[in-house]
Amino acid sequence: MATSNSPKSTTPDWSDEKTDQLVEFIDTVKTRTTDNVVIIARALVYGLVISVLALASVIILVTVLVRMADAYLPIGSGVGDAVWAAHAFIGGMLSVLGLGAWMSRRGEGTPKPLLIAAGFDGLVLFSLVLFGIISVAT
């Protein structure tokens, strides 16, 4: 009689090996396709939400600035209902900042035109507030 060797010990366990290879292949395909699509979709959704919130914040900020300029700065006084003057003032300030940003778009170092525009806007605002304080005090 021949020695009894069990079939399990002599044959390789190819079913587990092939199953592991198949699972590894499927995971690789999933990583290269589905995971990247999920990341791109999340980036698009979060980017859209952030852009909508940023746009709403800018609109609210400009509205508050116009209302504050109309209520507290001495612009358009003596003209009647001079909300247009507050709109023009805030629009001018934002235009100067935009011009400074446009001029510094290709700068190699620090954005000096933008800083100069912001300083100019700050100086104009400071002088208007100072004028208002002086006119109220006298």
Q: What is the pLDDT along the chain (138 residues), one digit of tens a residue?
A: 455 555 555 566 788 888 888 899 988 888 888 888 899 999 999 999 999 999 999 999 989 888 888 877 777 665 566 788 888 888 888 888 888 888 877 766 666 877 888 888 888 888 877 887 787 787
pLDDT value of residue 14: 82
Here the tokens at position 36 are 């990247």
pLDDT value of residue 66: 85
**Mind giving me the DSSP string for 101-130?**
HHHTTT-SSS-HHHHHHHHHHHHHHHHHHH
Contact 71, 83 (CB under 8 A): no
